[in-house]
Amino acid sequence: MTLREVMGRAREVLTAASIDDAALESEMLLRYVLNLSRVELFQQLNTALTPGQEQAFAGLVARRLSREPTAYITGHREFYGLDFYVDRRVLIPRPETELLVEKAIALAEGNPIAVIADVGTGSGAIAVSLAVNLPGAKIYATDIAADALDVARLNCRKHGVAGQIGLLEGDLLDPLPRPVDIIVANLPYVRKSDLAQVNTIDFEPKIALDGGADGLDKLRCLCQQVPGKLRHGGHILLEIGQGQGEAISMLLHRLFPFAGVEVTPDLAGIDRVVAVTLTVPVFSSSPSASL
Ligand SMILES: C[S@@+](CC[C@H](N)C(=O)[O-])C[C@H]1O[C@@H](n2cnc3c(N)ncnc32)[C@H](O)[C@@H]1O
C-alpha cells in the first residue's frame, strides 16, 4: 500500500473511534514511523511502504486506538515553537500554557537578568521556553517528581539551556536557594471529582493533574510558601482551570491584601492565568497568611 492509502485507512479507523484530528494524527504517526518531515511525506505519497513499515504503522495506530496520546507514542510535543521530548513520566504540555510563558516573557523583558522559578516543571516546557527567549535570565525549575526532572534535564540539554536552568527536586518553592523576581507555575488544578473526565487520565501522571477537592490545593500551598521566596515588587503567574478565577482571586486578595491581581482568559475565553504583583514585602508572620 502507498503512504496515501495507509494514511487514509488510519484516518478512517481513528475517526470511527471518535479520535479528534484523525487526519493530522495519522499523518504524525506515519511521519514518525518513516522518520520523514511533513514536506518529505507529501512528496512521497505515492511510494509504497515495505511490509515491515506497514506493520510498524499498524502497531502505532493500535496504540492510538487504545487512547494512548500521540505525543507519548512519538515522544514529541511542540510547545512555544520548540520540540520537547515527552514520555509517561510527565504531563504533555498544553497549548493554553503558552499564555503563561508569554506573560512571563513580557514581565521579564523589563529586567534582562531576572531570576525566575518554574514550579512543577514537568517536561521543562515552561522553563526551557523562558530560557531560550530570555538568554540573560536565571531559571530554577522545581518538581516533586524526580523522574519528571529527568525528562526536564533531557529537554534542557536538547535546547542548549542546561547552564541557565537549575533543576531542583522538592515541594513547590521549598528547594529555591534564594528569592526570585518571578514565580511561574502550572501546578495540578483538576478537581478530584473531575479527574475521570480527563481523557488522558490512564496515561498521564496523576500527580501532574490532581488538584484536590476544589482543584486549588497546590496553588494554596504555593501561595503560603511565597514569603521569603519572592523579591519585593516581584510577580506570581499561575495557570488555573475553568471556573477557578474567582476563587483563586479571593484567596490571593486575602493572602496578599496590597497586591494587584489580574485574571486573563485564554483564546477560548476560559480564565487561564492569574497574575499577582506584590507591591509591598510579604512576611510569613502576617495573620492573613493562614488560609
Ligand atoms: C500540570 S503539571 C505541569 C507540567 C509543566 N509545567 C507543564 O506546564 O507542562 C504539574 C507538575 O507539578 C508537579 N508537582 C505536583 N505537586 C508538586 C509539588 N508539591 N511540588 C512541586 N511539583 C509538584 C508534578 O509532578 C507535575 O510535573
* Within a domain: 214: yes
Note whether 252 and 168 are same-domain residues: yes
Note whether 30 and 147 are same-domain residues: no
* Within a domain: 74: no
Note whether 239 and 166 are same-domain residues: yes
CATH of the domain at 28: 1.10.8
Ligand 1 centroid vs 171 CA: distance in angstroms? 10
pLDDT of 42 strictly over 80: yes
Note whether 95 and 158 are same-domain residues: yes
Domain that holds residue 12: 3-66
* Within a domain: 267: yes
Ligand 1 centroid vs 142 CA: distance in angstroms? 8
What's the domain count of the chain?
A: 2
Report the pLDDT value the prediction gives residue 199, as an integer from 0 to 100.
87
* Within a domain: 82: no
Q: Please state, in angstroms and rounded to a whole number, the distance separating the CA atoms of residues 196 and 124.
A: 25
Domain end, chosen from 31, 66, 101, is at 66
Note whether 52 and 178 are same-domain residues: no
Domain end, chosen from 15, 31, 66, is at 66
pLDDT of 49 strictly over 80: yes
Does the beta carbon of 134 sit less than 6 angstroms from any atom of ligand 1?
A: no
pLDDT average, residue stretch 45-57 = 97
Give the pLDDT band (50/70/90) at residue 18.
very high
Does the beta carbon of 149 sit less than 6 angstroms from any atom of ligand 1?
A: no
Q: Which residue in this structure is represented by grid cell 519528571?
A: 148
Q: pLDDT by residue (tens digit) across 215-237?
A: 999 999 999 999 999 998 899 99
* Within a domain: 21: yes
Note whether 42 and 116 are same-domain residues: no
Secondary structure in 3-state letters for the chain: CEHHHHHHHHHHHHHHCCCCCHHHHHHHHHHHHHCCCHHHHHHCCCCECCHHHHHHHHHHHHHHHCCCCHHHHHCEEEECCEEEECCCCCCCCCHHHHHHHHHHHHHHCCCCCCEEEEECCCCCHHHHHHHHHCCCCEEEEEECCHHHHHHHHHHHHHCCCCCCEEEEECCCCCCCCCCEEEEEECCCCECHHHHHHCCCCCCCCHHHCECCCCCCHHHHHHHHHCCCCEEEEEEEEEECCCCCHHHHHHHHHHHCCCCEEEEEECCCCCEEEEEEECCCCCCCCCHHHCC
Note whether 139 and 203 are same-domain residues: yes
Of 130, 186, 266, the residue with max ligand 1 atoms within 8 A of its CB, to mutate for a pocket test, comes to: 186
Does the beta carbon of 97 sit less than 6 angstroms from any atom of ligand 1?
A: yes
Domain end, chosen from 66, 97, 115, is at 66
Note whether 32 and 121 are same-domain residues: no
Task: Write down the pTM of the prediction.
Answer: 0.93
Q: Please state, in angstroms and rounded to a whole number, the distance separating the CA atoms of residues 164 and 5.
A: 46
Note whether 137 and 57 are same-domain residues: no
CATH of the domain at 270: 3.40.50.150
Note whether 42 and 134 are same-domain residues: no
Note whether 128 and 178 are same-domain residues: yes
Ligand 1 centroid vs 121 CA: distance in angstroms? 6
* Within a domain: 80: no
pLDDT average, residue stretch 255-272 = 92
Note whether 44 and 98 are same-domain residues: no
pLDDT average, residue stretch 197-221 = 95
* Within a domain: 183: yes
* Within a domain: 273: yes
Does the beta carbon of 188 sit less than 6 angstroms from any atom of ligand 1?
A: yes
| Nearest atom (ligand 1) to Cα of 171 | 20
